Amino acid sequence: MEKNIALAILIVSLIFVGTLTFALGQTYITENLQEDNFIHSYTKAVCNENNYCEDYEIICEENKMLKLTPTGFAVQFSKDWKDRRNKEDIEKIC
């Protein structure tokens, strides 16, 4: 009987600690998201002079690039292909 009570107290304590840890973690994450540093990501095709375009994932914080990772997707366009994006969109990173 005493073992069952001790086991029940232990289980309730673990559930309480787990719930408290989860709640505090969520609060910490939410507070950090509300700070001024805005981190976002997107994909962008980067093309060379031979119209070979490779897709990259770009991760930015504010206007600073944090990471540039190739996605593995690429395409080779014909020699007469013209990129329809304006020059500002092609050159803009973050």
DSSP letter string over 16-63? Answer: HHHHHHHHHHHHHHHHHHTSS--EEEEEEEEE-TTSEEEEEEEEEETT
What amino acid is encoded at 36 in this protein? D
How high is the pLDDT of residue 23?
46
Residue 32: CA count within 13 A, CB half-sphere: 7
Taking alpha carbons only, the member of 52, 44, 50 closest to residue 90 is: 44
Would you state the pLDDT for residue 20? 43
The tens digit of pLDDT for each residue in 1-57 reads 777 676 656 565 556 545 445 544 555 555 555 556 788 999 999 999 999 999 999
Name the residue with higher pLDDT: 38 or 89.
Answer: 89
